[in-house]
A and B are shown apart, each in its own frame.
Chain A
């Protein structure tokens, strides 16, 4: 009896010392705000008013009938689609190049990864200068019209600029994941394929690609969720402009909440983003698990 009691007491102490701090911090920063956030979506709270009224599902109805939100969502889908394809393609090609046995592989890896150690705010501003001044000056000097005016003042080109800069950053990131996949492909398999008369393209297509399915899945899902959550670069590169034409979904949520002060509606938009990202993550778990089972 006393032994049991002491065991219990020591278990309680272990939990209090090792588990409780994490649980308290997590609950106060993640769990409670999450539940509270859901409650906010059912109110008309604007951040200032003393009186907060229940409005039912009105905020959600507003979100789905709000043309600017739908536009923002569609823009995000377009942005994500092109960025995911381009960054995975560039990232994969870079990974192939730096695992092909050329000199200075490590140096290249370090170089291409560099944009990922710098915050999106700074990167966005650097490119802002490039698009607003450097590129226009270059365009004028060679007399090319579409490069003489800033891309950031033109709705479609501003979105393209976002895609270019995101691809520039993300491809070095994905490259490293692809490298991890490619270096685990057995050398004998590649050599055997060459002996059998395959060319480099065949080896990539029939040996390397099928064997790095897992890395590919990780890269694709990672880039999808990263693009759907893109905020910093959106803020510093285009600031949603020109004429709110490049407000991606994460940026839109911020605007609704902290510029228009519609907290209930902003939180409802955030819940929509949450559902999108959650579905992407669940699909990722489903597909990568499946990939593991097949091997």
Chain B
């Protein structure tokens, strides 16, 4: 492409990106205004600059509690998913027993189903029969289970690309099945661990539907749920609401700015392969 053409493309793309970002600009701008000023002039810069909206939002949403709940659920889910997923992937990649093939086939088949199919039974079983509402570990357990088939699928595929001679060499050196995996294979899984972890973490961090079915009390709410309740229950505090929305975005945005390469690759690789 010629240089002048490239400049045209550059300018158009820049304009499109600015338009793309308008909702975020409007949001950030209005978090610094009192609500009446927002209603009067949503596009103008703040006249009476204030940080009070943030204070209100933090208090109403119980922000720090919600943030730590979200972080606990996400971190635990990711860790369990990583170990269980990669171990099962290794087993399925190396031991071609009939049983393994059947289980793997069922895992694959279940990846097709939307969450809505499990929604009502899960509520009935875990919130109803077992009475485990408002239990963060319950949500972790379900999130691990829902994300397992996809993780096992990716780990198995990646492990099959690792030569079995490595396993044999380790066995000759006296490593058993488990030690071979943890000492030799798992370190080699790093790229796929990053992919799966990013994909699962993004899904769990941003999840609303599943966690909202189980976490209904204030102390157990995640960010998404806390924001939802704040915005439905305080109907006229627009500026604090927008501050709340921005507070909900900031943590994930911080991660995005640090690891955007991995995040984009992880999210896309996850959905393309899955």
Contacts and interface: CB of A to CB of B under 8 A. Distances in A.
A110 B121 contact: no
Contacts of B17: 108, 111-112
A134 interface: yes
B90 interface: yes
A137 to B, nearest CB: 5
Interface stretch (A31-39, A79-87, A153-161): A31-39
A138 interface: yes
Nearest to A10: B177
Interface in A36-77: 36-37, 40, 47
B158 interface: no
A122 B141 contact: no
Contacts, number: 255
A281 to B, nearest CB: 5
A169 to B, nearest CB: 10
A113 B256 CA distance: 10
B119 A270 contact: yes
B172 interface: no
Contacts of B152: 22
Contacts of A271: 117
Contacts of B252: 117-118
Nearest to A190: B1
A37 B120 contact: yes
Interface residues of A, number: 86
Contact of B256 (A36, A98, A117, A177): A117
A273 to B, nearest CB: 6
Contacts of A228: 114
Contact of A31 (B27, B100, B110, B122): B110
Main secondary structure of the interface of B (DSSP, over half): helix
A192 interface: no
B72 interface: no
A23 interface: yes
A266 B87 CA distance: 36
A121 B228 contact: yes
A37 B23 contact: no
Contacts of B202: 117
Contacts of A29: 118, 122, 141-142, 144-146
A171 B117 CA distance: 27
| Tier of interface size on chain B | 35 or more
B208 A120 contact: yes
B101 to A, nearest CB: 12
A228 B1 CA distance: 39
B39 interface: yes
A250 interface: yes
Given A111-B21, A118-B252, A134-B42, A101 B6 contact: yes
Contact of A137 (B43, B121, B227): B43
B9 A22 contact: no
Contacts of B181: 18
B110 to A, nearest CB: 5
B38 interface: yes
Given A18-B88, A23-B103, A29-B122, A250 B116 contact: yes
Given A36-B121, A177-B272, A134 B43 contact: yes
B242 to A, nearest CB: 6
B45 interface: no
A52 B76 CA distance: 37
A26 interface: yes
Interface of A: 10-11, 13-15, 17-19, 21-23, 25-26, 28-34, 36-37, 40, 47, 94, 97-98, 100-104, 108-122, 125-127, 129-130, 133-134, 137-138, 168, 172-173, 176-177, 180, 200, 218, 222, 228-229, 231-232, 235-236, 250, 253-254, 257, 263, 266-267, 270-271, 273-274, 277-278, 281-282
The 10 closest A-B pairs by CB, nearest first: A29-B145, A119-B206, A33-B121, A18-B91, A22-B88, A134-B42, A270-B116, A37-B121, A102-B10, A36-B121
Interface of B: 1, 5-6, 9-10, 12-13, 16-17, 20-24, 26-27, 30, 38-43, 84-85, 87-88, 90-92, 95, 97, 99-100, 103, 106-107, 110, 112-122, 124-125, 128, 141-142, 144-146, 148-149, 152, 176-178, 181, 202, 205-209, 224, 227-228, 231, 238, 241-242, 245, 248-249, 252-253, 255-256, 260, 263-264, 267-268, 271-272
Given A100-B1, A129-B26, 18 more contacts: A25-B141, A25-B145, A30-B110, A34-B118, A37-B121, A47-B128, A98-B13, A113-B264, A121-B208, A121-B224, A125-B231, A129-B27, A133-B38, A137-B40, A173-B267, A173-B268, A267-B120, A273-B117
